[in-house]
């Protein structure tokens, strides 16, 4: 076997080797003679053709199957319980039964508390813990998620709907708008899944959600001071200034300390059991049943001592019976229907973001994939049916899901067990809730809030990405000092601004060769990389060179060239920049503005006696550069690798 002959082009100690038996011109032709890429119309037509072909194949396969088999397959797609239910065993049911009872003990007090947070009667929280879990159990794809009312959504609904109708002066009208908002939220959620629009949920970034939830947790906690201190007159606003002002004014009026003593005592009890549950995993059940135990003991204490006669505020009447049909309460002729639809959209996105995040977290732990679009559809149908059965917006609860997982649940049967337990409570035990202290409900809600404030994650965001942290604190302070919807708006605006900044002002980097390798890397990241005298190699860190960033990129490259020349020894003619190489492997596409900016760059460089070369352009990019004759203008200096561009410049005696 004969060894290949090698030409060597030396720049100080740097060597660039090119094999003679594979001329660089041949490799350049690989790029220049590439077939024409498919047009957008061809791509669209091909996509439609594939869709039609797949549909035809499915129809063809159905022709060979009986109607019963086809119907069963369709039902299995809509109702996954028909698939996993076949392999369900008694052993799994035992685990699900215990898990269902465990989360029910946590769900009942939380549901009552979240209903009051949403400015609804207590029974509506219990209603929302009956029908939605049952619907999700037959349609959902997550095995661990626990469906029901959650704190953030409850606050979001009340803060926006109460601007349309006052829940205290017109509770019936307010409740109707809540049901209507729930219906719209369900419709939007179902549409997101049906039309695969899940990317809309991603507009609320992880950082924004961390800040938003933390801010909402503090607002919720401050609002619970009303129940904890037994304050009669309280603000309906959610910003921290208004809430603290209302608390301060309440302290200047006569107030009963019995509420605070009762609520504070059980708050300490619940937090203590939660601490023990975290320290010893086998005691997780203690933290789960602590809220229910607190309600039972405090209710019994108030009943026996008649503390309600001494100023302790109690829940009083909780309507008994199962979920009443509420379809007749959906008022589409309301003057607020458009505003309610907007509220439904906002709530739909927030609820989906929380639910999908919770579902995916536990799915990754269990080692299975969660279908995001099916999840959106199942949550959507859950809320649509819920709005017809006196429920408000339900979604996946992180705290109850964590308890469900820790309790050893195997499937969504635990949700069914929980729903049945709540149904029994609604039917037979509501009279026992008459003497439940409101301070205890406030304590239950307050005990759930520390888990919503993730300081560790916020610090991690700060260390990793400062712009993400800006979105995080923007959402946090927006919720805290303005309103819940303002906090969301601030988060979305900052996230969009980040995207625009990255798109409009993409960065570039100067490359050098790593000693002992054929790699050309960023000289800032790898200080040991050797820059070649007379050559500047620039890589664009953008997938698109277009009207929005073309001029910025051109000016940035010219500044790089000017800067590099100013750093060189002006007395040495060989050190002056003679060749500018654009490494375009990151560039996926280019428009006419981008091509025009490259032409202007070429003219500017040519007027200074410098040459321009393009390295490793992608398919669409090189096609458009050829069609626009830009390749001809630069003398065909298009190469597959940076090495080849350098050697070509060396051979042409440019430097």
- 426 vs 22, residue with greater confidence: 426
Return the pLDDT at 288: 87
Task: Assess contact for 353 and 200: CB atoms under 8 A.
Answer: no
CATH assignment of the domain containing 612: 3.30.750.24
Which of 439, 465, 498 terminates a domain? The answer is 498
79: in domain: no
71: in domain: no
In this structure, are 443 and 563 located in the same domain?
Answer: no
State yes or no: pLDDT of 51 exceeds 90. Answer: no
317-321, 560-564, 588-592, range with the lowest pLDDT: 560-564
Return the pLDDT at 62: 64
596: in domain: yes
Task: Assess contact for 376 and 356: CB atoms under 8 A.
Answer: yes
Q: What is the C-alpha separation between 181 and 343, in angstroms, rounded?
A: 6
Return the pLDDT at 14: 45
Q: What is the C-alpha separation between 323 and 318, in angstroms, rounded?
A: 13
Quickly count: other Cβ atoms within 10 Å of residue 191's Cβ: 15
- 560 vs 198, residue with greater confidence: 560
52: in domain: no
DSSP calls for 198-247: GGGGGGS-HHHHHHHHHHHHHHHHHHTHHHHHT-SS-----SHHHHHHHH
Give how many domains the chain has, as a whole number.
2
* pLDDT averaged over every residue in the chain: 88
Does an H or E element contain 42, and which? helix 40-63
Q: What is the pLDDT of residues 298-314, one digit of tens each?
A: 999 999 999 999 889 99
Quickly tell me which residue has 């919770």 as its tokens. Answer: 358
Return the pLDDT at 575: 57
In this structure, are 323 and 370 located in the same domain?
Answer: yes
In this structure, are 149 and 221 located in the same domain?
Answer: yes
13-22, 55-64, 220-229, 402-411, range with the lowest pLDDT: 13-22
What is each CA distance from 579 to 250, 279, 611, 614, 638, in whole angstroms? 75, 65, 5, 11, 13
51: in domain: no
Q: What is the pLDDT of residues 159-212, one digit of tens each?
A: 999 999 999 999 999 999 999 999 999 999 999 988 888 777 777 788 988 999
Return the pLDDT at 594: 95
In this structure, are 480 and 531 located in the same domain?
Answer: no
Query: Domain range holding 524?
Result: 10-35+505-653
Q: How far is CA 210 from the centre of its chain?
A: 10
In this structure, are 352 and 474 located in the same domain?
Answer: yes
Return the pLDDT at 546: 93
Return the pLDDT at 233: 78
State yes or no: pLDDT of 335 exceeds 60. Answer: yes
Which of 448, 481, 498 terminates a domain? The answer is 498
440: in domain: yes
- 3 vs 190, residue with greater confidence: 190
State yes or no: pLDDT of 635 exceeds 70. Answer: yes
Which of 498, 514, 530 terminates a domain? The answer is 498
Q: What is the C-alpha separation between 211 and 471, in angstroms, rounded?
A: 8
Percent of the chain with pLDDT over 90: 56
> CA 166, 172, 178, 181: dihedral to nearest 10 degrees?
-100
Return the pLDDT at 366: 84
Return the pLDDT at 564: 77
Q: How many residues are recorded in the chain?
A: 655
In this structure, are 360 and 460 located in the same domain?
Answer: yes
Q: How confident is the model at residue 262 (pLDDT cuts 50, 70, 90)?
A: very high
Return the pLDDT at 568: 61
196-210, 443-457, 575-589, 600-614, range with the lowest pLDDT: 196-210
Task: Assess contact for 416 and 153: CB atoms under 8 A.
Answer: no
414: in domain: yes
Tokens of 495: 């996230």
In this structure, are 24 and 134 located in the same domain?
Answer: no
Q: What is the C-alpha separation between 256 and 231, in angstroms, rounded?
A: 9
Give this prediction's pTM.
0.81
State yes or no: pLDDT of 572 exceeds 70. Answer: no
In this structure, are 172 and 125 located in the same domain?
Answer: yes
State yes or no: pLDDT of 581 exceeds 60. Answer: yes
Return the pLDDT at 209: 87
Return the pLDDT at 169: 92
What is each CA distance from 53 to 38, 50, 70, 77, 78, in whole angstroms? 20, 5, 19, 20, 23
Q: How confident is the model at residue 22 (pLDDT cuts 50, 70, 90)?
A: low
The DSSP code for 333 is T
Interhelix angle for 90-117 vs 413-424, to 10°? 50
Q: How confident is the model at residue 261 (pLDDT cuts 50, 70, 90)?
A: very high
Q: Rounded to 5 degrees, what angle do the CA atoms 152, 407, 281 make?
A: 95
In this structure, are 556 and 482 located in the same domain?
Answer: no
Q: What is the pLDDT of residues 109-130, one digit of tens each?
A: 999 999 999 999 999 999 999 9
- 247 vs 422, residue with greater confidence: 422
Q: Rounded to 5 degrees, what angle do the CA atoms 261, 265, 268 make?
A: 140
In this structure, are 167 and 206 located in the same domain?
Answer: yes
Return the pLDDT at 4: 39
126-140, 344-358, 553-567, 632-646, range with the lowest pLDDT: 553-567
Q: How confident is the model at residue 284 (pLDDT cuts 50, 70, 90)?
A: confident
Give the residue among 110, 145, 144 at the shortest CA–CA distance from 355: 145
In this structure, are 539 and 485 located in the same domain?
Answer: no
Q: What is the C-alpha separation between 511 and 514, in angstroms, rounded?
A: 9
What is each CA distance from 109 to 113, 214, 435, 447, 508, in whole angstroms? 6, 22, 14, 11, 56
16-25, 211-220, 547-556, 614-623, range with the lowest pLDDT: 16-25
147: in domain: yes
Q: What is the C-alpha separation between 614 and 243, in angstroms, rounded?
A: 62
Does an H or E element contain 458, and which? helix 455-464
Quickly tell me which residue has 């549901």 as its tokens. Answer: 111
In this structure, are 464 and 540 located in the same domain?
Answer: no
> CA 485, 449, 260, 316: dihedral to nearest 10 degrees?
70
Mean per-residue pLDDT, 536-552: 92
């Amino acid at each position: 076997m004969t060894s290949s002959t090698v030409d060597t082009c030396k720049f100080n100690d740097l060597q660039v080797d090119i094999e003679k038996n594979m001329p660089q011109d041949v490799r350049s032709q690989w790029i220049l003679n590439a077939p024409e890429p498919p047009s957008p119309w061809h791509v669209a037509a091909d996509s439609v053709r594939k869709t039609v072909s797949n549909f035809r194949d499915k129809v063809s396969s159905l022709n060979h199957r009986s109607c019963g088999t086809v119907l069963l397959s369709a039902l299995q797609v809509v109702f996954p319980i028909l698939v996993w239910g076949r392999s369900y065993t008694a052993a799994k049911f035992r685990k699900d039964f215990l898990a269902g009872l465990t989360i029910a003990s946590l769900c009942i007090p939380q549901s009552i508390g979240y209903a009051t947070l949403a400015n609804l009667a207590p029974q509506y929280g219990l209603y929302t813990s009956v029908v939605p879990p049952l619907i999700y159990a037959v349609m959902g794809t997550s095995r661990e998620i626990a469906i029901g009312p959650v704190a953030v959504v409850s606050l979001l609904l009340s803060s926006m709907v109460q601007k349309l109708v006052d829940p205290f002066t017109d509770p019936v009208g307010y409740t109707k708008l809540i049901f209507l908002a729930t219906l719209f939220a369900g419709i939007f959620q179902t549409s997101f899944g049906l039309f695969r629009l899940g990317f809309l949920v991603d507009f609320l970034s992880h950082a924004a959600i961390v800040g938003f939830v933390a801010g909402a947790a503090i607002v919720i906690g401050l609002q619970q001071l009303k129940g904890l201190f037994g304050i009669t007159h309280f603000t309906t606003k959610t910003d921290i200034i208004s809430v603290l002002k209302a608390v301060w004014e309440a302290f200047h009026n006569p107030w009963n300390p019995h509420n605070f003593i009762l609520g504070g005592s059980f708050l300490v009890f619940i937090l203590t059991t939660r601490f023990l549950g975290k320290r010893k995993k086998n005691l997780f059940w203690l933290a789960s049943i602590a809220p229910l135990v607190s309600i039972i003991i405090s209710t019994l204490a108030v009943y026996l001592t008649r503390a309600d006669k001494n100023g302790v505020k109690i829940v009083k009447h909780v309507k008994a019976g199962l979920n009443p049909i509420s379809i007749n309460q959906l008022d589409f002729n309301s003057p607020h229907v458009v505003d309610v639809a907007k509220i439904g959209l906002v709530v739909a996105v927030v609820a989906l973001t929380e639910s999908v995040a919770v579902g995916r977290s536990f799915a990754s732990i269990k080692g299975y994939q969660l279908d995001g679009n099916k999840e959106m559809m199942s949550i959507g149908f859950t809320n649509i049916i819920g709005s017809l059965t006196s429920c408000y917006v339900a979604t996946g609860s992180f705290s109850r899901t964590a308890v469900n997982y820790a309790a050893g649940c195997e499937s969504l049967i635990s949700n069914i067990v929980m729903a049945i337990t709540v149904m029994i409570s609604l039917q037979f035990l509501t009279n026992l809730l008459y003497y439940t202290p409101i301070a205890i409900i406030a304590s239950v809600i307050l005990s759930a809030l520390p888990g919503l404030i993730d300081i560790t994650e916020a610090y991690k965001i700060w260390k990793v990405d400062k712009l993400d942290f800006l979105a995080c604190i923007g959402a946090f302070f927006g919720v805290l000092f303005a309103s819940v919807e303002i906090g969301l708006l601030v988060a979305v605006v900052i996230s969009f601004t980040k995207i625009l900044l990255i798109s409009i002002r993409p960065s570039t980097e100067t490359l050098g060769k790593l000693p002992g390798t054929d790699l050309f890397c960023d000289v800032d990241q790898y200080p040991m990389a050797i820059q070649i005298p007379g050559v500047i190699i620039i890589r664009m860190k953008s997938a698109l060179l277009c009207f929005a960033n073309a001029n910025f990129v051109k000016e940035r490259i010219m500044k790089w060239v000017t800067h590099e020349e100013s750093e060189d020894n002006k007395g040495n003619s060989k050190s002056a920049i003679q060749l500018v190489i654009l490494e375009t492997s990151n560039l996926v596409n280019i428009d006419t503005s981008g091509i025009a900016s490259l032409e202007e760059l070429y003219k500017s460089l040519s007027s200074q006696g410098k040459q321009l070369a393009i390295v490793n352009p992608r398919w669409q990019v090189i096609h458009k550069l050829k069609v626009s004759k830009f390749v001809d203008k630069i003398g065909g200096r298009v190469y597959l690798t940076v090495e080849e561009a350098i050697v070509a410049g060396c051979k042409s005696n440019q430097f």
